[in-house]
Amino acid sequence: MISYQWCSTLESGDRDEVLALVEAAAEYDEEAGFSKIRTGDVDAVDRDGVRVLHLPIKARRDLSGRDDAPLVVVAYLHLEVDREGLGTVQFVVHPKYRSRGIATVLVEEMGLETTAEGGWGGTGATALRCWAFSTHPASERLTRRFGIPAVSRQWTLFRHLSGPFSSPLDGAEPPVAEPPVGTEIADARPLDDPAVSKAVEQVLGSASLVPAQRERFVDEVRLGSGEVLVATDASGSPVGFVWYDPALVVHLELKAAWIRALVLSASAREAGLGTALLTGALATLREAKAQIALLRIDPSDAGAVRMCRVMGFEQEEEHSCYQVGEWSDVPSF
């Protein structure tokens, strides 16, 4: 029914098909918020300490049983394996070929054995992880069938910024983002501003993040866009920031904008700085005509959950990280 072969780079014909598949899936899944693969990952190659492998999955067009029907790419799997053999998986099926057993057949044929010599399917991966966003029903069916456990969760939260369900951001109109005594919040600057990059790096270095989380976040910043509010202490050292993107997207038929990250140094927590930064970001998104703000958090972070509840956020979606094999680091999102 399907055919596939690992490769370090995609051949030109396969690359064009995979790129078209990734773009079609991203557009189709945009509002639902399902997992998507960046177009840049289609051309990714090995980098320092990371092996990159591509797996285009092909089948006869329209899953035809005729031998003369052309083979087309119906799904794509992207795998990155680090020095320890830990493999991060991204997988997507073309919208036209969903709910037709493509993923199930792939797992049945490839298996999930990671302890054999050469790792999973000869890729060198001795453990696998994959995030499934927005509780995709297909991922739930697949992981339940093959007994793949979820090892971490993330929530998407939303907050109304205008309309009948909105409320003042801090009890005042216009809202005022007052930082704790001895702390200042600078004016917003673009994400790619060199001074912002330096401040973000300093905060990340003092935020008690595990290496995997830090590396993933640095990658997100490199490819991201938007603006950043940076907070500094009395000595002028950065102690926190909030990254948001005022670009509007459609979510549940409303104009929405994302708060991408809120990070504080360990010494700046539980003093109200997170609330001040978040309030400032929300005020800017409202000025940009966003009707709702979106934010993702780790539900095991009690402080973040408490702050978001106080500020009027509501849970909308849950995302799950599935794992095969042993992995020492906590999952990065």
pLDDT at 231 over 50: yes
Answer yes or no: are the C-beta atoms of 310 and 169 closer than 8 Å. Answer: no
Determine the structural domain holding residue 90 and report its residue range: 2-148
Find which of 122-136, 162-176, 282-296 is predicted with most confidence, using mean pLDDT: 282-296
99 shares its domain with 169: no
In a domain, 276, yes or no: yes
133 shares its domain with 204: no
310 shares its domain with 162: yes
Q: Please, which residues have CB within 8 angstroms of residue 152's CB and are 6 or more apart in sequence?
A: 298, 320, 321, 330, 331, 333
Q: Which of 61-65, 156-160, 218-222 shows the lowest mean pLDDT across its residues?
A: 218-222
76 shares its domain with 188: no
**Which pairing describes strands 314-324 and 127-132: parallel, antiparallel, or unpaired?**
antiparallel
Q: Please, which residues have CB within 8 angstroms of residue 223's CB and are 6 or more apart in sequence?
A: 38, 40
Q: Nearest to residue 266, comparing CAs of 235, 239, 230?
A: 239
Count Cβ atoms below 10 Å from residue 333 Cβ, excluding itself.
Answer: 18
Q: Please, which residues have CB within 8 angstroms of residue 119's CB and are 6 or more apart in sequence?
A: 81, 85, 87, 125, 126
Q: Of 148, 165, 193, which marks where a domain is finished?
A: 148
Interval 1-14: pLDDT, tens: 899 999 999 999 99
pLDDT at 46 over 70: yes
Answer yes or no: are the C-beta atoms of 56 and 12 closer than 8 Å. Answer: no
Q: In whole angstroms, what is the distance from residue 1 CA to residue 109 CA?
A: 11
Interval 298-327: pLDDT, tens: 888 888 899 999 889 999 888 888 999 988
pLDDT at 171 over 60: no
184 shares its domain with 70: no
In a domain, 41, yes or no: yes
Segments of the chain assigned E as strands? 2-4, 51-60, 71-81, 86-93, 127-132, 150-160, 184-185, 189-190, 227-232, 238-251, 254-264, 292-297, 314-324
194 shares its domain with 113: no
Question: Three-state SS for 28?
Answer: helix
Q: Which of 52-61, 117-126, 164-173, 268-277 shows the lowest mean pLDDT across its residues?
A: 164-173
- The whole-number average pLDDT for the span 110-127 is 95
192: CATH: 3.40.630.30
142 shares its domain with 159: no
Q: Of 148, 170, 193, which marks where a domain is finished?
A: 148
Q: What is the pTM of this model?
A: 0.74
Q: What pLDDT, on a 0 to 100 scale, did the predictor assign at position 215?
A: 73
128 shares its domain with 200: no
69 shares its domain with 32: yes
Counting every residue written for the chain, the total comes to 333
Q: Of 128, 148, 168, which marks where a domain is finished?
A: 148
Interval 238-291: pLDDT, tens: 999 999 999 998 887 899 999 999 999 988 888 899 999 999 999 999 999 999
Task: Report CA Rg, the chain.
Answer: 22
What total number of domains does the chain contain?
2
Q: Please, which residues have CB within 8 angstroms of residue 265's CB and are 6 or more apart in sequence?
A: 203, 206, 207, 238, 239, 240
Residue the block writes with tokens 């094999």:
325
Question: Three-state SS for 7?
Answer: strand
Measured CA to CA in angstroms, residue 306 lies from 168, 175, 176, 229 at distances of 18, 20, 20, 22
170 shares its domain with 69: no
Q: In whole angstroms, what is the distance from residue 122 CA to residue 119 CA?
A: 5
What percentage of residues in the chain have a pLDDT greater than 90? 64
Residue the block writes with tokens 């972070």:
301
311 shares its domain with 166: yes
Beta-bridge partners for 93: 75
pLDDT at 329 over 80: no
Q: What pLDDT, on a 0 to 100 scale, did the predictor assign at position 109?
A: 96
Answer yes or no: are the C-beta atoms of 130 and 107 closer than 8 Å. Answer: no
136 shares its domain with 165: no
In a domain, 268, yes or no: yes
